[in-house]
Amino acid sequence: MSTDYSTARLARQAEAPSLATALQDARRRTLDLLDAYVAALGPALTVPYSPQLNPPLWEAGHVAWFHDYWIARSGQRRLGLACDPDHARPAGRLASADGLYNSSKVPHRERWRLALPDLAETRAYLDAGLAETLAWLAQEPKETEAPGALYFYRLALFHEDMHAEAGTYMAQALGIPLPAHLRPWQRPLPEARDLALPATTWRLGHDGAGFAFDNELPAHAAPVAAFAIDSVAVTWRRFLPAVAAGAASLPRYLRQQDDGWQAWRFGVWAPLDLDTAAVHLTWDEAQAWCAWAGRRLPTEAEWEYAALTAPDFQWGDAWEWTASRFAPFPGFTAHPYRDYSRFGFEEHRYVLKGASRATDPRMAHPRYRNYFTVERNDIHGGFRSCAG
């Protein structure tokens, strides 16, 4: 395995001191993104409706509410998976917060019609909420002393990291400039080669210590036949000939000029590095390229098996579409945040594996299951292929 995921592994087992540091780091990224949005849009943060985006002001308030709901207002924060998600909670510092920010109950379109707190109130809600989270965290015992006591702090951390990544691809969709430390520029990749792996029975899913998302569980045996898989994600140099041949559509954020290909990145057209991973591709575009090239998408089990056993398997340049529908593993049980996976199971979604250049290293774990509907091209989604 060539991609180091030790940061993610440690984050899933983090005790209180390192969790406190990580939570503050995640919040800095949230606030830096918020500053970039305000600089581009003004304090009202008004954007046109999109089924792929959330209103920026709602997004920030939702992050604050998540801390408040699952930690500060929860009387069962130390119970971990034994927490009753519906237990009675006291009112928070924003009396209307549950009706504004509970994503399980506030439909997507309704979020655009809400009378949200203004920017100053939202910032105050974020600041006070993090301070309260850190105060509670400082009182928590070690996990060895109270199993589950740190579960919701880790969940809040990863939830905020996910929303920061969503804020990054929302900036891309809206053409909002981002400062260099927030901009996920791609890196050139070496030429792909096929890695041959023998047949095996793979243990698919989270199988170890520390935090796991509910859809990663339970780990189970998954037979895998012998196969060969790309050592790196498909690059633009490999993908674009299929566009030229009419086999694949022109991807979002790309154009061809007299002097070559250009990519739209955070409000600016720039020359495209053909040796970077092809991103902002739909599942159908990945499938079209595979059909043109005489190859196929890997299954989730094949991808995970290769990532964790093949020394030259390089990942982390794009979320990689697989051929596997997002579905519960046999014996699945929802965790207290019941809707984390439910909506994905109910819709026509496919699993994406790996991580993108916009993903915080804390989230870049080979067991993680990302999932989106097939038409999504706003995410930093790409793919790799298997022979035959």
Query: What tokens appear for 126 in the block?
Result: 């974020």
Q: Are residues 217 and 340 in the same domain?
A: yes
Query: What tokens appear for 221 in the block?
Result: 């045996």
Structural domain includes residue 334: yes
Q: What is the pLDDT of residue 80?
A: 96
CA count, 13 A, side-chain hemisphere, 7: 12
Structural domain includes residue 188: no
Structural domain includes residue 1: no
Q: Are residues 334 and 201 in the same domain?
A: yes
Residues of the chain with pLDDT under 50: 1
Q: Are residues 14 and 140 in the same domain?
A: yes
Q: Which helix (H) or strand (E) holds 21?
A: helix 16-41
Q: What gap in Å lies between CA 38 and CA 24, rounded to an integer?
A: 21
Q: Are residues 172 and 288 in the same domain?
A: no
What's CA 231's distance to the chain center, in Å?
22
Structural domain includes residue 142: yes
Q: Are residues 274 and 382 in the same domain?
A: yes
Q: Are residues 200 and 120 in the same domain?
A: no
Classify the phi-psi angles of 175: left when phi > 0, otherwise alpha if psi is within -120 to 50, otherwise beta: left
**Residue found under tokens 């019609």:** 113
Q: What gap in Å lies between CA 305 and CA 178, rounded to an integer?
A: 36
Q: Are residues 319 and 269 in the same domain?
A: yes
Q: Which of 182, 212, 242 is the last residue in one of the domains?
A: 182
Q: Are residues 269 and 122 in the same domain?
A: no
CATH number at residue 84: 1.20.120
Q: What is the pLDDT of residue 2?
A: 60
Q: What is the pLDDT of residue 208?
A: 86
Q: What is the pLDDT of residue 144?
A: 83
Encode 358-375: b = buried (16+ Cβ within 10 Å), e = exposed: bbbbbbbbbbbbbbbebe
DSSP 31-98: HHHHHHHHHHH-TT------TT---HHHHHHHHHHHHIIIIIT-TTGGGGGG--TTS-----SSTTHH
Q: Which helix (H) or strand (E) holds 146?
A: none
Q: Are residues 213 and 175 in the same domain?
A: no
Q: Are residues 142 and 258 in the same domain?
A: no
Q: What gap in Å lies between CA 327 and CA 260, rounded to an integer?
A: 41
Q: What gap in Å lies between CA 167 and CA 173, rounded to an integer?
A: 10
Q: Which helix (H) or strand (E) holds 319?
A: strand 318-325
pTM: 0.97
Query: What tokens appear for 257 in the block?
Result: 């000029």
Burial of 102 (0-12, 13-18, 19+ CB in 10 A): middle
Q: What Rg, from alpha-carbon coordinates, does the chain have?
A: 21
Structural domain includes residue 48: yes
DSSP 206-248: --SSS---GGG-S-EEEEE--EEEESSPPBHHHHHHHHHTTSS
Structural domain includes residue 187: no
The neighbouring-strand residues paired with 229 are 195, 386
Q: Are residues 234 and 118 in the same domain?
A: no
CATH number at residue 269: 3.90.1580.10
DSSP state of 181: G
Q: What gap in Å lies between CA 322 and CA 384, rounded to an integer?
A: 8
Q: Examine residue 218 and say whether the peptide bond preceding it is cis (omega within 30 degrees of 0).
A: yes
Structural domain count of the chain = 2
Q: What is the pLDDT of residue 93?
A: 87
Q: Which of 182, 205, 239 is the last residue in one of the domains?
A: 182
Q: Which of 115, 148, 182 is the last residue in one of the domains?
A: 182
Structural domain boundaries enclosing 369 = 194-387
Strand order in the sheet with 386-387: 194-197, 227-230, 386-387, 295-296
Q: What gap in Å lies between CA 381 and CA 377, rounded to an integer?
A: 7
The neighbouring-strand residues paired with 318 are 355
Q: Which residues contact 331 (CB under 8 A, 6 or more apart)?
A: 218, 220
Q: What is the pLDDT of residue 373?
A: 96
Structural domain includes residue 123: yes
Q: Are residues 136 and 282 in the same domain?
A: no
Q: What is the pLDDT of residue 1?
A: 46
Query: What tokens appear for 274 in the block?
Result: 């053909």
Q: What is the pLDDT of residue 259?
A: 86
Structural domain includes residue 152: yes
